[in-house]
A = this chain, B = another copy of it.
Amino acid sequence: MPEKPEDTYNAFFLEVGILAQLSRAMFEARLPPGFTLPQFTVLNHLVRVQDGRTPLDLARAFQVPKTSMTHSLAVLERHGLVEMQPNAKDGRSKCVFITDAGRAFRQKALEAITPDMAALAARFPASRLVEALPVLTDLRQMMDSMRDV
């Protein structure tokens, strides 16, 4: 069924939105009450990618407005999961470091979520995701390059 490209994009983004909603709900159900997916995602990024990034780096990585990132970081800091230090290279800026408590929190959350992921994988083979993942990644990179926060 030949479709106009715009229709394809609309349908694609609709599915993406619903999947984001579903995965978010799934994650948050396993996080301690009051914590949200973005907060976990930031911690995860700090561990997996790199420590010591600036808030703006993080906002760009997730494509959220920088004010949203400021808020998320403030919450994480209030809970002692990250620390903010002045950026030696730029007086306007800060560097975000994950604390030991933050690492432990992230580890526990990851473990809490794994059974759900395994349950999904049992019904829907991860190999199919592997098949689709490059499309998502490439599209994301392309859209990243078209936008600045």
Contacts and interface: CB of A to CB of B under 8 A. Distances in A.
Interface string A7-37: 0111111111111111111110000000001
Interface stretch (A81-89, A96-104, A132-140): A132-140
Interface residues of A, number: 56
Contacts of A26: 143, 147
Interface in A106-149: 113-114, 117-121, 123-126, 128-133, 135-140, 142-144, 146-147
A35 to B, nearest CB: 16
Contact of A129 (B8, B19, B27, B126): B8
Number of copies of chain A assembled together: 2
A131 B140 contact: no
Determine the main DSSP class of A at the interface with B: helix
A18 to B, nearest CB: 5
A75 interface: no
Given A23-B17, A117-B9, A123 B142 contact: yes
